[in-house]
Structure 1
Amino acid sequence: MKASQFFISTLKEAPADAEIVSHQLMTRAGMIKKLGAGVYTYMPMGLRVIRKVEAIVREEMNRAGAVEVTMPVVQPAELWQETGRFDKMGPELLRIKDRHDRDFIIQPTSEEVVTDIARQELRSYKQLPKNFYQVQTKFRDERRPRFGLMRGREFIMKDAYSFDRSPEAAKASYQGMAQAYRRIFDRFGLRYRAVAADSGAIGGDLSEEFQVIAATGEDAIVYNPSSDYAANIEKAEAAAPTQPRPAASQALTRTPTPGKSTCEDVAALLNIPLATTVKSLVLATDTQDEQGEVVKTQVWLLLLRGDHDMNEVKVGKLPGLAGFRFATPAEIEAAFGAKPGYLGPVGLQAPVKVVADRDVAVMADWVCGANEVDVHLTGVNWGRDLPEPDLIADLRNVVAGDRAPDGPGELAIERGIEIGHVFYLGTKYSLPMNATFLDEDGKPKPFEMGCYGIGITRLPAAAIEQNHDERGMIWPDAIAPFTVVICPIGMDRSDAVKQAAEALHDELAGAGVDVLLDDRGERPGAMFADWELIGVPHRVVISDRGLKEGQLEYQHRRDAEAQKVPAQGIGDWLKAKLGV
């Protein structure tokens, strides 16, 4: 393709609302154009990247045996009401009405629609397993759409759904998709990790995220460099302490701590390690009657080491703590007789359930609030000063250097951007929608389902976050808008340059290389700046002087300098380099 036939529009400066590198560079390179908050037009340069992502995804999904469909963007609310998600999903689900006042939604995902297809079309076990996938526009009404394509409201997603006759078969389908995802992300040429994850709002009990490694990533990825263990921070398990609880060696003492309400301030005042302090977090759970009125509230006291943070996902899965909330100041004062900052588990009068993190359960001589302003207790010990906790559990986020839960090694943490997710759903959607098939014994059984998503439009943004420098983007070959750009200098003034450039372009294009000839007549500096910004990985410069010397210049986008290569046979040299 020639640049004069294409559309190229670059900017020297990014718009003020572009906060992260991918948003800034995609806007400057003319890949996306903002239409409204979280809604973008995919311009020709950006759309080429998206189409290449889609092509790889389709090839590997088809190879894995999935069958492509396209489900409607606008879906009737009745299906979502069957599963209860019409009400449960909250304001992210965009609800609309038609002219007859009937409820519809703009799809954020399609579990309900595909389950409706299965219950109508898949009647016998002989039709299983089956996997339907689509590459389709989605919409989620994000409260704060930001970061360009990283967290937009409208986006393109590949979502797939598997249907099986048994949990064992469904888990085999899940593993097949997980392997297909690895092939997909390997082909993209990105550094990524597959990590164990929490299923969140989608549901299910087996889940894995695919995270592109990038310093600007929103997610913390925990891994063991000595093994294959990897999980996101929500899922990562803190290894259970191996040492027994030491015997008490200090007396319980009320210690003045004027104006010191945090563990950090108390540790600094008392000149003790932060790890010897214990923080108190107060939660509440409500029991409701059939009318939705709260009839009982249970207050919980969670105890964590002062240098650790609570993991809300882990806590929410503990017995009795599903749907927890943080207690109100009034509830805290009623239960403890003190304000937050000075709370502790010693001498509780109100019926409070105490849950201790596993590290706290083996501590001795620790420091905590005294339920009195400006006072903390030192030398606190289980059994002697307070009863054993009602429950001991893993409550915390892991930290770098923690002992790995899977054996030898210490945990490390890096940042990642989620670009894919696979779930084993089980019967979460088939049971409420009465989606069944006739099994071999002639009896109806609910489908065992899996769900598999890839953020098609998010992936290019993640690739940029991982691959860029001060000049612009650096695309992997597989998803670059163009693989090779030919930059002729003085093409409008030199027949030799023009002929050499067009001959190389035609040779590469004829071999299936995605090549662009920049015939715009731009000055070299401006031309090179555009292609460094856009990030085309391979650049060939043709000039009169070089042709007279029998040489051209080649530079990979990651290279600091160009290299001289013989003009004779340059096409074969490039094709060999590209593996064509």
Structure 2
Amino acid sequence: MRLSRSLIPTLKETPAEAQIASHRLMLRAGMIRQMASGIYAWLPTGYKVLNKIAQIVREEQDRAGAQEVLMPTIQSADLWRESGRYDAYGKEMLRITDRHDRELLYGPTNEEMITAIVRDNIKSYRDLPQWPYHIQWKFRDEVRPRFGVLRGREFLMKDAYSFDLDYEGAVRAYRTMMLAYMRTFQRIGITAIPMRADTGQIGGDLSHEFHILAPTGESGVFYDAAFETGDAMDATDVDAFYERMTTIYAATDEKHDTAVWDTIPAERRREGRGIEVGQIFYFGTKYSQAMDFAVTGPDGQKFYPEMGSYGIGISRLVGAIIEARHDEAGIIWPDAIAPFKAAILNLRQGDATTDALCEKLYAALGADALYDDREERAGQKFAEADLMGHPWQMIVGPRGAAAGIVELKRRATGERFELPVEEALAKVRG
């Protein structure tokens, strides 16, 4: 993308409504714009990040054995009456009446709808297990939307659902999803801590939250250093992984057990702040029984499938990652989800040699590069590249261009390298 032709409306000043770093930086970097309270339009760079996160989530769900579907945003109130949650859910649910006086709602979650879909299509134990998932927009009418995409009313989520023959199968689904989540966060390039959690409106008796470590996190987090080193992922299979999880300490301030904490070697104890970005639940037959979803077992008798649900806040992740990875100059994207791998900064627009080298770099990197071809001061180009957080800056001036040299700057560390063109391209490509 050529910056001179892009829709990336950066701001020099911080909007007054932005209270936290991610909200300020997403607005200033031209990633989002607010359309109504808690509702945002995603502009090209923000949308690229959103899609890259969603794709990693999708690949790890597929790897785990889940199947992607797409459910509508609008749901029938009758489904929620079947489960008993329609009146209990509260004012966060946006309730709608259509022109025929049918009661509808904008889905805040999808347990009822997916149970109805599977119920209407699965009749025998031979067709289980089923692990469908989708990535879809949801709406919860927060009483006080704030903090940008971290607590908006409309948000993008991945939610998966498991339907299994028995408790043992449901537990295996739960453990498989926990491993898929840890792999997802590892691929994105962030540290996530899973910890026991309350089940809330979803129900059930087994749940884990996943928190990204960030100085501005809403929860105090106590955890084992194994989560930082990657040792938490050192397991040969799903069961070994889950057993490893149960031996590594992690807790929020509300759930912190100081007696257990004191048994962790002092050199492995870590404390920080966390932002919740996902949660998984096992809730047994709560929904299958309430919605009369029974299948025929091997003995000819009917039984209710065991269920679980598994959510990742994809749009919330964007804000949480920025909270975890920024400095005074701007965002510091992990390579895997950056909107562009590199910004090409032309420091002498109009100089034939400089222009030619920049065009060569741009042609070589294609969609992975944002080419700053504007007739602006070098200082402004540097500042905006830092603000937008590209992992690499490829700096081209007349002297370097004449010698076939590109200056590379690594955004995360500030390191600089002067390299021949092909070596610079190879380093950016990784």
| Structures share fold, TM-score greater than 0.5 | yes
Q: Greater share of helix residues, 1 or 2? A: 2
| Residue of structure 1 in register with 2:36 after alignment | 36
| Residue of structure 1 in register with 2:388 after alignment | 534
Q: Offset at 1:406?
A: 8.8
User: Structure 2 vs 1, CA of residues 106 and 574 (structure 1 numbering), >3 Å: closer, same or farther?
Assistant: closer
SS of residue paired to 1:450: strand
Task: Detail structure 1 runs of 4+ shifted over 6 Å in the superposition.
Answer: none
Hey, what's the Cα distance between the residues in 1 that align with 2:374 and 2:23? 26
For residue 286 of structure 2, the aligned residue among 425, 428, 437 is: 428
In the alignment, structure 1 residue 444 sits paired with structure 2 residue 302: yes
| Residue of structure 1 in register with 2:18 after alignment | 18
Q: Offset at 1:224?
A: 4.5
| Residue of structure 1 in register with 2:259 after alignment | 403
> Does structure 2 retain, via aligned residues, the 8 Å contact 1:198–1:235?
no
Report the residue type matching 2:365 in the other structure: L
| Residue of structure 1 in register with 2:208 after alignment | 208
| Residue of structure 1 in register with 2:356 after alignment | 499
Hey, what's the Cα distance between the residues in 2 that align with 1:223 and 1:474? 24
**CA-to-aligned-CA distance 1:506-560 (integer Å, 9 cap, x gap):** 2233xxx712222222221111111111111101101111123443211011233
User: Structure 2 vs 1, CA of residues 87 and 549 (structure 1 numbering), >3 Å: closer, same or farther?
Assistant: same
User: Structure 2 vs 1, CA of residues 567 and 223 (structure 1 numbering), >3 Å: closer, same or farther?
Assistant: closer
User: Structure 2 vs 1, CA of residues 412 and 2 (structure 1 numbering), >3 Å: closer, same or farther?
Assistant: closer
Hey, what's the Cα distance between the residues in 2 that align with 1:573 and 1:94? 49
| Residue of structure 1 in register with 2:424 after alignment | 570
Hey, what's the Cα distance between the residues in 1 that align with 2:338 and 2:415? 21
| Residue of structure 1 in register with 2:326 after alignment | 468
Hey, what's the Cα distance between the residues in 2 that align with 1:568 and 1:176? 42
| Residue of structure 2 in register with 1:104 after alignment | 104
Q: Offset at 1:571?
A: 2.3
Moved more, 101-110 or 160-169: 101-110
Q: Offset at 1:95?
A: 1.1
Q: Offset at 1:414?
A: 2.0
Hey, what's the Cα distance between the residues in 1 that align with 2:304 and 2:15? 51
> Does structure 2 retain, via aligned residues, the 8 Å contact 1:25–1:472?
yes
| Residue of structure 2 in register with 1:357 after alignment | none
Where does 1:347-362 land on structure 2 (aligned, <5 Å)? none
For residue 558 of structure 1, the aligned residue among 412, 415, 423 is: 412
Q: Offset at 1:464?
A: 0.4
Hey, what's the Cα distance between the residues in 2 that align with 1:231 and 1:526? 44
| Residue of structure 2 in register with 1:353 after alignment | none
For residue 519 of structure 1, the aligned residue among 359, 363, 373 is: 373
| Residue of structure 2 in register with 1:233 after alignment | 253
Greater C-alpha radius of gyration: 1
SS of residue paired to 2:194: strand
| Residue of structure 1 in register with 2:342 after alignment | 484
Hey, what's the Cα distance between the residues in 2 that align with 1:506 and 1:480? 19
Q: Offset at 1:4?
A: 3.2
Moved more, 81-90 or 515-524: 515-524
> Does structure 2 retain, via aligned residues, the 8 Å contact 1:20–1:147?
yes
Superposition RMSD in Å: 1.8
Hey, what's the Cα distance between the residues in 2 that align with 1:561 and 1:477? 16
Q: Offset at 1:441?
A: 0.9
Hey, what's the Cα distance between the residues in 2 that align with 1:8 and 1:224? 40
Q: Offset at 1:2?
A: 2.3
In the alignment, structure 1 residue 457 sits paired with structure 2 residue 304: no
Hey, what's the Cα distance between the residues in 2 that align with 1:554 and 1:225? 33
Hey, what's the Cα distance between the residues in 2 that align with 1:574 and 1:222? 36
**CA-to-aligned-CA distance 1:158-207 (integer Å, 9 cap, x gap):** 00101001010011011111111111100110122111212122111111
Hey, what's the Cα distance between the residues in 2 that align with 1:232 and 1:120? 40
User: Structure 2 vs 1, CA of residues 34 and 408 (structure 1 numbering), >3 Å: closer, same or farther?
Assistant: closer
Where does 1:144-159 land on structure 2 (aligned, <5 Å)? 144-159=144-159
> Does structure 2 retain, via aligned residues, the 8 Å contact 1:198–1:234?
no
- Give unmatched runs, 5+ long, in structure 1: 239-401
Q: Offset at 1:409?
A: 4.5
Hey, what's the Cα distance between the residues in 1 that align with 2:119 and 2:65? 20
Q: Give the percent of matched residue pairs that are identical in Structure 1 and Structure 2.
A: 47
**CA-to-aligned-CA distance 1:291-314 (integer Å, 9 cap, x gap):** xxxxxxxxxxxxxxxxxxxxxxxx
Hey, what's the Cα distance between the residues in 1 that align with 2:98 and 2:289? 29
> Does structure 2 retain, via aligned residues, the 8 Å contact 1:224–1:409?
no
Hey, what's the Cα distance between the residues in 2 that align with 1:156 and 1:136? 6
Q: Offset at 1:32?
A: 0.6
In the alignment, structure 1 residue 143 sits paired with structure 2 residue 143: yes
> Does structure 1 retain, via aligned residues, the 8 Å contact 2:193–2:223?
no
| Residue of structure 2 in register with 1:317 after alignment | none
| Residue of structure 2 in register with 1:188 after alignment | 188
Hey, what's the Cα distance between the residues in 2 that align with 1:570 and 1:160? 41
Hey, what's the Cα distance between the residues in 2 that align with 1:175 and 1:561? 40
Q: Offset at 1:568?
A: 5.7
Hey, what's the Cα distance between the residues in 2 that align with 1:408 and 1:529? 44
Q: Offset at 1:565?
A: 2.2
User: Structure 2 vs 1, CA of residues 149 and 573 (structure 1 numbering), >3 Å: closer, same or farther?
Assistant: closer
TM-score, length of structure 2 as denominator length:
0.91
Report the residue type matching 1:98 in the other structure: D
SS of residue paired to 2:143: coil
TM-score, length of structure 1 as denominator length:
0.68
SS of residue paired to 2:375: coil
SS of residue paired to 1:162: strand
> Does structure 2 retain, via aligned residues, the 8 Å contact 1:225–1:409?
no
**CA-to-aligned-CA distance 1:310-356 (integer Å, 9 cap, x gap):** xxxxxxxxxxxxxxxxxxxxxxxxxxxxxxxxxxxxxxxxxxxxxxx
User: Structure 2 vs 1, CA of residues 541 and 216 (structure 1 numbering), >3 Å: closer, same or farther?
Assistant: same
| Residue of structure 2 in register with 1:244 after alignment | none
| Residue of structure 2 in register with 1:546 after alignment | 400
> Does structure 1 retain, via aligned residues, the 8 Å contact 2:220–2:252?
yes
- Give unmatched runs, 5+ long, in structure 2: 227-246
SS of residue paired to 1:422: strand
Q: Offset at 1:122?
A: 1.2
Hey, what's the Cα distance between the residues in 1 that align with 2:156 and 2:165? 30
Hey, what's the Cα distance between the residues in 2 that align with 1:408 and 1:498? 58
Hey, what's the Cα distance between the residues in 2 that align with 1:56 and 1:19? 29
**CA-to-aligned-CA distance 1:21-57 (integer Å, 9 cap, x gap):** 0000001111110111101111111101001011111
Report the residue type matching 2:46 in the other structure: G
Hey, what's the Cα distance between the residues in 1 that align with 2:370 and 2:409? 15
Q: Offset at 1:235?
A: 3.7
| Residue of structure 2 in register with 1:178 after alignment | 178
